[in-house]
Chain A
Amino acid sequence: MITISRERPITIAILALGGLGGGVLTKWLVDMAEANGFLAQSTYVAGVAQRTGSTVYCIEMYAADKAQEQGRTPVFALYPVPGDVDLVVAGEMAETGRAIQKGFVTPNTTTLIASSHRVFSIIEKEAVDDGIVDQAPVAEAAAKVAKKFICFDMEVLANETGSVISSVLFGAIAATDALPFDKGAYEKVIRDTGRAVDRNLAGFAAGFTGASRPAPAAKKEEVPQAEPVGANGRALARRIDNELPAATRVFALHGALRALDYQDAGYANSYLDTLTRVHEAEAKVAGESRQFSLTTEVARQLALQMCYEDTIRVADLKTRRERSQRVRDQVGAVENQPAHIVEYFHPRIEEICDTLPAALGGYILRSPRIRKIMSPLFTKGRNIRTSSITGFLMLRTIAKMKRWRRGTYRFSVQQKLIANWLQRVLAALESDYDNALHIAQSIESVRGYGDTYERGLKRYEEAIR
């Protein structure tokens, strides 16, 4: 029998997507190993990560002097082998899950370093509603299966330091004892590249500190409490406290303030009138047994339906002060840097009729002849610069039409939709609570603009049939 030597190379697996710098990190690790007296091998599949599939980089290293002592070199693997991986680095949270699925992370062996941020897959992004896959079970499994699990949001740190995630990951690796190199060896590799050295060192330092800190407790996501700022809002809040149960108040206040902002105090009070009616019906049928889930749901959906997105609302939102600042930040304009904001609008004849007086709007929409005459006006999208005075004033004028909103065509249509929906909810409540809740939720698909709105309407009608 051979005597099985326990000597084995250090194995590292990096799971990354395009843009996460897996290739850079691999090169740094190999360079560091070779500069510190190690034999190193790395392999990967080129070009796969770039087109946003995920790929695995495999690195193995072994002390050169020990190899010389033995007179032979280890046989390096080309792919990480389950049970054999000392360090797993995942540049993104779902990739952490993938590393576990592939068996790379094993108890007592593997140090697992992961960034908690998400790069969503197309499957998650393209869902009509919320397609995001919950990563909490992955974090939970990772903490149990790894010898040591280090996980924090490295994207934020990369952005803060102007570096890239690979530098932050490199710092996090340095903070563990997974590899036999001291901190200086890591920093030297970054310096030796001569590229973006300061920023990469800043990212490295942020990663090092981040990994040394205890993991922050998982945040429980709570709906933020709305704060009324004026007399009208405070009056609405008092009304909610008096008339509605505690469980529904957070959403009711958000809804009431939304209606106030959307139209006026009368509109907000009518919102609460309706809500109170639903609450009374629910209390009669179910008492407190369902924690007023129906009223809470209606509080949400009613507010959204009452504050639908017509051209007036869009123009209003797009001309607000805080919005101007927000979009400037989003596109990366710094203080006092001139920047234009070009809005992409494509109103159809429907959207124009929506804001016309109800009778006129309805007449045009019902008349194929007028529609045909007017249609050339609506074939092309329009670009409006809200950062220019004319563009801004144009939208502001539309926003000012708010005072006539109650007389518009869309308002009358919307009122009918809401009345019909409420009637169905209340009717269902008499016999089948869950069905009432289902109908209440289904209206959520009625949202948006143009084709999206019409598709949503169809989905709603199918759902309640």
Chain B
Amino acid sequence: MAERSFKREVEKLRIGEGEEFAGEGILAVTKALLQSGVSYVGGYQGAPISHLMDVLSDADEILTELGVHFETSANEATAAAMTAVSINYPLRGAVTFKSTVGTNVASDALANLASGGVTGGVVIIIGEDYGEGSSIMQERTHAFAMKSQIWLLDPRPNIPSIVAATEHAFELSEASNTPVFLQLRIRSCHIHGRFKASDNRRPKMSLREAMENPVRNLDRIVLPPASFHHEQEKVNKRWPAAVEYIEEHKLNETFEGTRDDLGIIVQGGLYNTLIRTMERLGLADAFGKTDIPIYVMNVAYPLIDSEVVEFCTGKNAVLLVEEGQPNYIEQAINTVLRQRDVQTKLLGKGMLPMAGEYTSQVLRRGLVLFMAQFDAGWQPPEDPMHLVAEFISKIENHVPERTPGLCIGCPERPIFASLKMLQEELGDFHVSADIGCHLFSILPPFNIGNTTMGYGLGAAGAAAFNTESDKPAIAIMGDGGFWHNGLTSGIGNAVFNQSDALTIVVDNNYSAATGGQDLLSSKGGADNRSTRHSIEKAAQGVGVKWTKTVHTYDIGEMRAALRAAVAAKKGTGPKVLVAQGECMLNRERREKPIFSKAVSDGKRMVRDRFGVDEDTCTGDHECIRLSGCPSLTVKPNPDPLRRQPVSYVDNSCVGCGNCGEVAHEAVLCPSFYKGQIVFNPNLLDRVLFRIRRSVIGWFQNGTEKRRLRLA
């Protein structure tokens, strides 16, 4: 069950020829896949294409009707390997994952695919996680395109262009027997817009038909001597075929201008930012009309030499807007211009920064430099940032940084509270962190974790620390990472190499960080997947002797288990501690409506809510340093004698109980209390409540009178 449901929106996928489709980028891409007649779709979730997986998952019914097989792959390598069926059969397929991290994982299969070449069109939809909002290392997918020879489409970021690019991608793939990357940038995935739809198409050949009539073609298998022929074929046959298709269908666009001395070349994905920046500089209007001609590379790879030469010839200078590094496109264009002896100056990274996102402000600086050098008469309008600089400096220290953190009631919080207490008790450990929500542990307030090497690689990241010590390395791994590869790369590896390291597997029932998708070990029954497979048993299956499952909110037991694991005798092999607690976002989404319904149906229900006594809170905030829960916050101290804000639990508390457990375990203070509010109380509740209220009230009134007398 994913975080966001697209059940209603996917109905739009059924619309046909001529109807207008309105919605988010990811839905539009899904519609384009169906219009292209795909046979199969796979992938692995991860921002920014998580929702694409969720849309496909929610569209299962529509996909089945069309004879399309969809699966959530075990990892990106699995997804990429799935495309193998397009090598021998005219089956169109698409897979999707986050890039570059997912592409890293997939690259073995992708390289094999690209070597053998494809019969049916293969489109790999890349969620390019680059720039603001990104959560990964800043690299380019472009390198993968070049090394394996996979074409890379980077369409202009509007829905009709993205849809057209998706459809062309299949045609291009088949015309050149080459897989195609369709690059979607972060914000393009969530763009809202419209396009004219066409009918969905059933695949030309069904999976069953292909499966029952196997084709074996030795030429397509990556083994010598075929592998040597593949390389020749790539450059001699497939590349020219691709160039021909791209030229013929005008996948790249030239927007003519009136000037013949200057020009701009831009990656499709950056077109909108370029135009808006030029508009602010008075070089274009809001509709993209400009004096300076622009060549838009909707195909970022391969470079179409003839188009580039034609565009550049006769111009004094051309500005290349190429985001990311190394500057592959700049290098390629320079080579072409040199070879064809075109004397046009090409300015790319000289005008624009080598690294970092090309925001409008960055492009502005580059354009101003470029114009100043090649158009003496041009004067830039005042930079709006100058108008506000004075105000920005005045508030310099008044905008607190916001680091991401765990959600309200997150079951992972008590794990890190326990770890923090363990470190306070025994000193710091080397903690090898992993990818997932749990990676927020490296930030305040927990500040736990030394490295992260990639998804599922938490345990593997501690492999070298397999040496005699009183302080074994601690590795963290999520359930997502565990099934993605961690079981073999981390746990199995530790067994085989006789490591004593402790791996904490955070089992929150879902692939939570990517939006709460189901996993092998999900506790809920999924309609079309097999779930409820035990992590602990899997670890035992690869030979782990020391395993334990602890409910995360039981901090006492969690601490005891951690202590036991790090104190275990040397040579007893790896320890696997499964920390079990359901992702609160998912739990709340499921339980809240049930609770509300039960209350409105008149059933007796009890709701827990935590609070901090402002009378006894002394404003030390140790509770916050062991929690970081968004609902545990501060407010001004009502005591005029004190300066420190008091801790305070706001309305968003879901009553997970972590605060109270931490207060107990860390011996914090007597300020935490739990309220248990009874809805639809029964007779016993009401009678007891009345008796208690009058007895306690009687005592309280007496005390109050006495206090007033002495006051």
Name A residues whose Cβ lies closer than 8 Å to a Cβ of B.
1-2, 4-5, 7-9, 17-19, 30, 34, 40-48, 50-56, 58, 62, 70, 72-79, 81-84, 94, 97-98, 100-101, 103, 105-107, 119-130, 132-135, 137-138, 140-141, 144-145, 159, 223-224, 226, 228-230, 232-233, 250-251, 254-255, 257-258, 260-261, 264-265, 300, 303-304, 309, 314, 317-321, 323-324, 326-328, 330-333, 336-346, 348, 380-381, 383, 386-389, 392-393, 396, 444, 447-452, 456
Is B384 touching A324 in the complex (CB atoms < 8 A)? no
A9-B286, A97-B395 given as contacts; is B158 within 8 A of A76 (CB)?
yes
Is A321 touching B394 in the complex (CB atoms < 8 A)? no
Q: Which residues from A are CB-within-8-Å of B567? A: none
Specify which of B188, B193, B668, B695 is in contact with A452 (CB 8 Å cutoff). Answer: B668
Query: Does B664 touch A at the CB level, under 8 Å?
Result: yes
Q: 5 shortest A-B CB distances, which residue pairs?
A: A331-B675, A83-B384, A381-B664, A45-B133, A230-B711
Stretch at the interface among B101-109, B403-411, B480-488: B403-411
Roughly how many angstroms separate A8 CA and B286 CA in the complex, as a whole number?
5
Name which residue of chain B comes closest to A78, CB basis: B187
Is B677 touching A332 in the complex (CB atoms < 8 A)? yes
Query: Does B132 touch A at the CB level, under 8 Å?
Result: yes
Specify which of B192, B276, B437 is in contact with A77 (CB 8 Å cutoff). Answer: B276
Task: Looking at the assembled complex, report how far the CB atom of A298 sits from the nearest CB atom of chain B, in whole angstroms.
Answer: 12
Q: Which residues from A are CB-within-8-Å of B406? A: 51
Roughly how many angstroms separate A314 CA and B615 CA in the complex, as a whole number?
9
Specify which of A72, A77, A344, A444 is in contact with B273 (CB 8 Å cutoff). Answer: A77
Task: Looking at the assembled complex, report how far the CB atom of A402 sits from the nearest CB atom of chain B, in whole angstroms.
Answer: 11
Is B711 touching A233 in the complex (CB atoms < 8 A)? yes
Query: Does B190 touch A at the CB level, under 8 Å?
Result: yes
Name which residue of chain B comes closest to A144, CB basis: B391
Task: Looking at the assembled complex, report how far the CB atom of A84 sits from the nearest CB atom of chain B, in whole angstroms.
Answer: 6
A100-B391, A137-B394, A317-B616 given as contacts; is B665 within 8 A of A46 (CB)?
no
Is B710 touching A75 in the complex (CB atoms < 8 A)? no
Q: Which residues from A are CB-within-8-Å of B271? A: 75
Query: Does B198 touch A at the CB level, under 8 Å?
Result: no
Specify which of A55, A78, A327, A388 is in contact with B613 (CB 8 Å cutoff). Answer: A327
Specify which of A8, A123, A254 is in contact with B403 (CB 8 Å cutoff). Answer: A123
Roughly how many angstroms separate A50 CA and B586 CA in the complex, as a whole number?
13
Task: Looking at the assembled complex, report how far the CB atom of B702 sits from the nearest CB atom of chain A, in whole angstroms.
Answer: 10
Is B699 touching A1 in the complex (CB atoms < 8 A)? no
Name which residue of chain A comes closest to B259, CB basis: A1
Roughly how many angstroms separate A339 CA and B605 CA in the complex, as a whole number?
11
Is A448 touching B669 in the complex (CB atoms < 8 A)? yes
Task: Looking at the assembled complex, report how far the CB atom of A183 sits from the nearest CB atom of chain B, in whole angstroms.
Answer: 24
Roughly how many angstroms separate A140 CA and B556 CA in the complex, as a whole number?
49
Name the interface residues of B579-603: CB closer than 8 Å to any CB of A. Answer: 585
Query: Does B249 touch A at the CB level, under 8 Å?
Result: no
Query: Does B51 touch A at the CB level, under 8 Å?
Result: yes
Known: A18-B407, A101-B399, A255-B641. 6 other contacts (CB 8 A): A53-B402, A103-B384, A125-B633, A134-B398, A339-B676, A341-B675
Roughly how many angstroms separate A395 CA and B585 CA in the complex, as a whole number?
37
Q: Which residues from A are CB-within-8-Å of B673? A: 327, 341-344, 386
Roughly how many angstroms separate A58 CA and B703 CA in the complex, as a whole number?
59
Q: Which of B271, B272, B515, B633 has the most CB of A within 10 A?
A: B272
Is B280 touching A451 in the complex (CB atoms < 8 A)? no
Chain B 683-707: CB-based contact to A (< 8 A → 1; otherwise 0) = 0011011011001110111011001
Is B710 touching A103 in the complex (CB atoms < 8 A)? no
Is B669 touching A449 in the complex (CB atoms < 8 A)? yes
Is B158 touching A52 in the complex (CB atoms < 8 A)? no
Specify which of A41, A56, A81, A251 is in contact with B360 (CB 8 Å cutoff). Answer: A81
Q: Which residues from A are CB-within-8-Å of B179? A: none
Query: Does B289 touch A at the CB level, under 8 Å?
Result: yes
Is A48 touching B404 in the complex (CB atoms < 8 A)? yes
Roughly how many angstroms separate A324 CA and B282 CA in the complex, as a whole number?
66
Name the interface residues of B599-632: CB closer than 8 Å to any CB of A. Answer: 609, 611, 613-616, 618-622, 624-625, 628, 630, 632
Chain B 367-399: CB-based contact to A (< 8 A → 1; otherwise 0) = 000000000000000011101100110110111
A4-B285, A451-B667 given as contacts; is B192 within 8 A of A43 (CB)?
yes
Q: Which of B188, B673, B711 has the most CB of A within 10 A?
A: B673
Is A320 touching B663 in the complex (CB atoms < 8 A)? no
Task: Looking at the assembled complex, report how far the CB atom of B481 sits from the nearest CB atom of chain A, in whole angstroms.
Answer: 18
A81-B360, A230-B711, A330-B675 given as contacts; is B633 within 8 A of A121 (CB)?
no
Roughly how many angstroms separate A223 CA and B685 CA in the complex, as a whole number?
43
Roughly how many angstroms separate A22 CA and B695 CA in the complex, as a whole number?
49
Q: Which of A41, A260, A340 has the most CB of B within 10 A?
A: A340
Number of A-B contacts (CB under 8 A): 393
Q: Which residues from B are CB-within-8-Å of A46? A: 47-48, 50-51, 189-190
Is A83 touching B280 in the complex (CB atoms < 8 A)? yes
Stretch at the interface among B228-236, B306-314, B642-650: B642-650
Specify which of B275, B385, B660, B704 is in contact with A75 (CB 8 Å cutoff). Answer: B275
Specify which of B192, B611, B664, B681 is in contact with A331 (CB 8 Å cutoff). Answer: B611
Task: Looking at the assembled complex, report how far the CB atom of A122 sits from the nearest CB atom of chain B, in whole angstroms.
Answer: 5
Chosen A-B contacts, 7 in total, with CB atoms closer than 8 Å, are A101-B395, A121-B400, A141-B394, A141-B395, A230-B710, A381-B667, A392-B699
Name which residue of chain B comes closest to A141, CB basis: B391
Query: Does B298 touch A at the CB level, under 8 Å?
Result: no
Is B685 touching A52 in the complex (CB atoms < 8 A)? no
Q: Which of A138, A250, A265, A321 has the most CB of B within 10 A?
A: A321
Roughly how many angstroms separate A257 CA and B397 CA in the complex, as a whole number?
39
Is A120 touching B634 in the complex (CB atoms < 8 A)? yes
Roughly how many angstroms separate A395 CA and B403 CA in the complex, as a whole number?
41
Q: Which residues from A are CB-within-8-Å of B407? A: 18, 50-52
A122-B405, A138-B395, A450-B668 given as contacts; is B388 within 8 A of A145 (CB)?
yes
Specify which of A133, A159, A452 is in contact with B398 (CB 8 Å cutoff). Answer: A133
Roughly how many angstroms separate A81 CA and B618 CA in the complex, as a whole number?
45
Specify which of A40, A75, A339, A386 is in contact with B276 (CB 8 Å cutoff). Answer: A75
Roughly how many angstroms separate A97 CA and B187 CA in the complex, as a whole number?
23
Roughly how many angstroms separate A448 CA and B708 CA in the complex, as a whole number?
27
A337-B678, A341-B673 given as contacts; is B664 within 8 A of A380 (CB)?
yes
Chain B 256-286: CB-based contact to A (< 8 A → 1; otherwise 0) = 0110000000000001110111011010111
A251-B640, A319-B703, A342-B673 given as contacts; is B618 within 8 A of A48 (CB)?
no
Is A232 touching B669 in the complex (CB atoms < 8 A)? no
Task: Looking at the assembled complex, report how far the CB atom of B542 sits from the nearest CB atom of chain A, in whole angstroms.
Answer: 32
Roughly how many angstroms separate A62 CA and B288 CA in the complex, as a whole number?
14
Query: Does B90 touch A at the CB level, under 8 Å?
Result: no
A98-B399, A125-B633 given as contacts; is B620 within 8 A of A447 (CB)?
yes
Q: Which residues from B are CB-within-8-Å of A387? A: 692, 696
Roughly how many angstroms separate A40 CA and B159 CA in the complex, as a whole number?
12
Is A345 touching B402 in the complex (CB atoms < 8 A)? no
Is A51 touching B437 in the complex (CB atoms < 8 A)? yes
Roughly how many angstroms separate A338 CA and B686 CA in the complex, as a whole number?
7
Roughly how many angstroms separate A7 CA and B287 CA in the complex, as a whole number?
9
Is B670 touching A314 in the complex (CB atoms < 8 A)? yes
Is A339 touching B398 in the complex (CB atoms < 8 A)? no
Query: Does B359 touch A at the CB level, under 8 Å?
Result: yes
Roughly how many angstroms separate A446 CA and B374 CA in the complex, as a whole number?
68
Name which residue of chain B comes closest to A304, CB basis: B641
Specify which of B277, B398, B707, B708 is in contact with A97 (CB 8 Å cutoff). Answer: B398
Roughly how many angstroms separate A82 CA and B387 CA in the complex, as a whole number?
10
A43-B191, A103-B388, A133-B397 given as contacts; is B620 within 8 A of A344 (CB)?
no
Is A317 touching B400 in the complex (CB atoms < 8 A)? no
Is A105 touching B388 in the complex (CB atoms < 8 A)? yes
Roughly how many angstroms separate A83 CA and B384 CA in the complex, as a whole number?
5
Q: Which residues from A are CB-within-8-Å of B699? A: 319, 392-393, 396
Q: Which residues from A are CB-within-8-Å of B186? A: 45
Q: Which residues from A are CB-within-8-Å of B444? A: 122-123, 126
Query: Does B147 touch A at the CB level, under 8 Å?
Result: no
Roughly how many angstroms separate A136 CA and B616 CA in the complex, as a whole number?
30
Name the interface residues of B306-347: CB closer than 8 Å to any CB of A. Answer: none
